[in-house]
Chains A and B, each alone.
Chain A
Amino acid sequence: MTALLTVIISYLAAVVLGIIPGRHYRLIRGLALVTGLSTLAVSLVCYGQFRLGEGGTFQNVIELPWIPAIGAEFKVGVDGLSISLLMLTGLVAVCGVLFTWTLRERANQFYAYYFALIGGVFGVFLSLDLFLLFVFYELAIVPKYFIIAIWGSGRKTYAAMKLVLFSFVGSAVALLGLIAIYYGSGQHTFDLVQLMHSGEFSPKFQIVVFPVLFVGFGILAGMWPFHTWAPTGHVAAPTAASMLLAGVVMKLGAYGCLRVAIGLLPEGAVYWAPVVGWIAVINIVYGALIALVQTDFKYVIGYSSVSHMGFVLLGLATLNEVGLVGASLQMFSHGVIGALLFALVGSVVYSRTRSRQLGDFHNLVQRMPGICWTFVAAGLASMGLPGFSGFVAELHVLIGAWNQDRFSIWIMVMAGIGVLATFAYTLVKIHEAFFGKSSASASDEPYAPMTLAEKIGCGLLLSIATVIGIYPPLLTSILEPSLAPILEALAAAGKEVF
């Protein structure tokens, strides 16, 4: 029951906040912060209650009949993978509110959509029934549209429509795969646990259906060449929403790829692994190179998200323990760091400079030293400097990829180029943004220092990234046992296929 509270609290808050008249914005943001904190608290309780000894099974399971006609149930539960993502969602939800602290325009509606989106995200991570998972996956799409279309900036209606259409295409393709699974198992059920244990999918079926599911979910994970919604959407979205989109929503896709596509169709995964590996390294290198040439600061971060999600996909493609743990760690790590970067660029820096163009920034290191060094720390964390979570995650992924014999050496070469390109764009863009001089706006007047809400938000995200970077067993201890069943299925499938 504990875990389900995250969904209930979020949707309840969405309704309550939507009803409160917009002029009480102080009350609204206070309630929003309390809601975020309570979902975070609930996910931490789930973490505390998680029984490591039974880490391979789902815990906290609730099962209710729903639509027997098609064998759909209301079934939720958690394992280590979902708990790590629940904590991430709670954390980003709290920080999103902190970085939106000054919002007054239609605050009630904003938070109503905000928590409707978060409720859908929690729901996906909790669902143990494919039908329910799809329901929450769809429910998460619509609030994104309104958040971007109403509170966004730049070409916001275009970006909102583009993002929603990509999401709908992705979910339609994924639905096709889910329905195929429903029939392919011969059991006429959507029950994820039952399908994992006793689903008998023929090798041919797996090889045909795996790409359908993987691409369907992969679209939301920012998989090349279907990634273009991500930078456009993230840039146009208001800060709290871009933090959620980059930090959490992209993980919905990666989670679907891992839990459903790889978890249920291991033989399909083994067959397609090299192709996925190639796509993943293209993601990494392509995203990094495009980030290198962007002049809009927010677009830099947008493309860096695409590049970092490439590491998640590469980890998934390795299909071995180190790689899958790495992919799950990277989901968490990028969630935290990506959210921090979007918060800094979209809110902290923008609210002071009123510009996102790197060319407009003049001598920021002296004019906003605190913010500058926070960004440098966040940038280094994102680049994969040892001591931060990004390093641990990417190292796991790269070792996993190295151990995968079926990857051609060129995949590793590409991944290496990707790492170098990541160094390059991070350092170049930090230099351009904070240490560069602009002839157009050459003022040396200092900007306002960070507000308390901004300090707490940045501090929270940066310290989590550091804690996980220094002591990764906090997460790996719950991830490893929970990935074990998937790895067993993959090991069996490896023998079948070869």
Chain B
Amino acid sequence: MLAFALITLLWGAFIALRQRDLKRVLAYSSLNHVAYCMFGIFALGAAVSPEGMNAPAIAVQGVILQMFAHGIGISGLFYAVGKLEAVAGSRDIHEFGGLGSVMPRYVFVFGLLVFSSLGLPFLAGFAAEILIFTGAFALAPWHTGLALLGLLATAVFLLNILQRLFTGPVNPDRSGMADISFREVLYISPLLVLTVWIGVFPDAWLAFSAPFVESFTILISQ
């Protein structure tokens, strides 16, 4: 089952790399991110001797946080892509370029969410993934090693999007696009605040799920 999660993880990333439609990219990136959750869960099943270790608890905490972080991240990203489509009338990543100078506010919002899902420290995705990996390592070290390299595939496709959209020459047809307004930044700001908050102080969030995780790990160790 671990191998299955690993394949999903890599497959999601590689397909996402091949997509031109931004919404499809996001859809496959979801696949990739949910695979990290599966990985954490299956690692529990593969546990050889979990007694005396807090590893299963860490993994489950990571899975829960990842579900939450991914929920925030992906909804924010779909909102952002929807916005881009509304302004530009297209979702094809090849049609954009150099947005960094055209729409700086938009790039900030989109960039923060992408970096969270890429697993940049101090953002939500990192906190979740590191917990999953730390927990899973004690349970299945070799698979975790491979999954860590799978993170790389995630990094490649996300950086690829950022590179295509935001750097390089500006597409002349798109140079006059309006940036999102401050009000729109405000609309999406709860998601951004949560992303940073979870990333910097994951403990506040882990405390919520701790009682459940405790009873759950006792249950599965029986």
Contact = CB atoms under 8 A, between A and B. Distances in A.
A290 interface: no
Interface string B102-126: 0000000000000100011110001
B58 A179 contact: no
A70 B130 CA distance: 10
B115 A142 contact: yes
Contacts of B168: 157
B122 A135 contact: yes
Interface residues of B, number: 38
Interface string B131-157: 101100110010011001101100110
B100 interface: yes
A142 B120 contact: yes
Interface residues of A, number: 34
B134 A182 contact: yes
A173 B101 CA distance: 35
Contact of A175 (B115, B148, B167): B148
B159 A106 contact: no
B203 A150 contact: no
Contacts of A139: 120-122
Nearest to B136: A179
B54 interface: yes
B189 interface: no
B152 A168 contact: yes
> What secondary structure prevails in chain B residues at the interface with A?
helix
B84 interface: no
Contacts of A179: 133-134, 137, 144
B75 interface: no
Nearest to B206: A69
Interface string B197-217: 000001100100010000000
Contacts of A180: 137, 141
B155 A165 contact: yes
Contacts of A183: 53, 55, 137-138
Interface of B: 53-55, 57-58, 61, 100-101, 115, 119-122, 126-127, 130-131, 133-134, 137-138, 141, 144-145, 148-149, 151-152, 155-156, 159, 163, 167-168, 202-203, 206, 210
Interface of A: 66-70, 106, 109, 131, 134-136, 138-139, 142, 145-146, 149-150, 157, 160-161, 164-165, 168-169, 172-173, 175-176, 179-180, 182-183, 188
Given A69-B203, A109-B100, A165-B152, 10 more contacts: A69-B210, A70-B130, A70-B131, A139-B121, A149-B163, A161-B156, A172-B151, A179-B137, A179-B144, A180-B141
24 contacts: A66-B203, A67-B206, A69-B202, A69-B203, A70-B130, A131-B130, A135-B122, A138-B120, A142-B115, A149-B163, A150-B100, A157-B163, A157-B168, A160-B163, A161-B156, A161-B163, A164-B155, A164-B159, A168-B152, A173-B148, A179-B133, A179-B137, A180-B137, A182-B134
